[in-house]
């Protein structure tokens, strides 16, 4: 047993070191409801403790990656008006737990984007370590057009990736980007023709899942810390990470491969 369970609207499968999380509501453009949100949080939380996981893959079934959070479904679940403050009470255990897990889980996260990536769908793509998008994908922040403010880390992620001026265009003006523009802006890792999307993602996942998992995870943590820490503190973090990575089996394999003039065979240990 893998220890991972699918939930309604979310397929979960661990194979060959890759944890695949596939949004599975194609009729709703894979809009994320509360059940899917809880499933994503649980799977990513487990992945951070699971030594079998060497990469996480986020994708959406059908024509679209994710059209955002399913607000319509939530608002029609009950005819009783919620108490004031219900949103700020709910978000810390849902969207506002999910995005930090994507950003902080100590294995690389690869996101595959086709069709629409809106709202939290865009933020999942922005929070992943590598996002490969179809060049005709549509990335959009719907908040201004709907009359409410951003959530799920949009105001934190976007300025860091594309700069404040462009973040204003996306969040205040609701500018849509296609996949090619998103890659040019630095919002996603790469844009490719739709027919090449699967091959590009598969190649990237294969490369990461055969890499030195310990050092990749520590490097991911270092890059995150470097966004806020001063240089002297970051150098301290680098020294600690180097100490840990130098004790890994993959480090010894890397040295052996260098001496023997061959490609290393990392096992993620």
- Reported as a pLDDT band with limits 50, 70 and 90, residue 1 is very low
- pLDDT tens for each residue of 133-188: 999 999 999 999 988 888 899 999 999 999 999 999 999 999 999 999 999 999 99
Quote the pLDDT of residue 109. 98
List the alpha helices (DSSP H) in the chain. 34-47, 71-76, 86-90, 95-104, 120-127, 143-146, 154-162, 164-171, 179-185, 197-209, 213-225, 231-245, 249-259
pTM of the entire structure? 0.92
What are the sequence ranges of the domains in the chain? 10-209, 213-259
Could you tell me the CA-to-CA distances from 124 to 4, 65, 165 in Å, in that order?
Answer: 20, 10, 21
- pLDDT tens for each residue of 16-67: 999 999 999 999 999 999 999 999 999 999 999 999 999 999 999 999 999 9
pLDDT of 74 above 60: no
Question: Once rounded to an integer, what is the mean pLDDT over residues 191-196?
Answer: 98
Question: Once rounded to an integer, what is the mean pLDDT over residues 197-201?
Answer: 98
Provide the CATH number for the domain formed by 10-209 in this structure: 3.90.226.10
Tokens describing residue 4: 């991972």
Torsion of CA 215, 221, 222, 225, to 10 degrees: -170
Quote the pLDDT of residue 95. 75
């Amino acid at each position: 047993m893998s220890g991972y369970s699918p939930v309604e609207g979310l397929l979960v499968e661990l194979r060959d070191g890759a944890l695949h999380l596939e949004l599975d509501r194609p009729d709703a453009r894979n809009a994320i409801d509360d059940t899917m949100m809880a499933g994503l949080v649980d799977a990513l939380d487990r992945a951070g403790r699971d030594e079998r996981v060497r990469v996480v893959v986020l994708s959406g079934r059908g024509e679209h990656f994710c059209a955002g959070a399913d607000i319509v479904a939530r608002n029609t679940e009950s005819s009783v008006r919620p108490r004031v403050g219900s949103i700020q009470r709910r978000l810390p255990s849902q969207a506002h737990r999910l995005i930090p897990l994507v950003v902080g889980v100590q294995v690389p996260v690869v996101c595959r984007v086709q069709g629409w990536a809106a709202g939290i769908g865009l933020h999942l793509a922005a929070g992943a370590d590598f996002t490969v998008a179809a060049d005709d994908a549509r990335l959009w922040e719907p908040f201004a057009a709907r009359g409410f403010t951003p959530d799920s880390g949009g105001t934190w992620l976007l300025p860091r990736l594309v700069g404040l001026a462009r973040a204003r265009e996306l969040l205040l003006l609701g500018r849509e980007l296609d996949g090619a523009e998103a890659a040019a802006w630095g919002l996603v890792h790469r844009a490719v023709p739709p027919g090449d999307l699967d091959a590009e993602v598969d190649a990237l996942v294969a490369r990461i899942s055969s890499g030195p998992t310990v050092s990749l995870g520590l490097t991911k943590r270092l890059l995150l810390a470097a966004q806020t820490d001063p240089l002297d503190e970051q150098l301290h973090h680098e020294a600690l990470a180097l100490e840990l990575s130098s004790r890994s089996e993959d480090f010894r394999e890397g040295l052996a491969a260098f001496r023997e003039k061959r490609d290393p065979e990392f096992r993620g240990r």
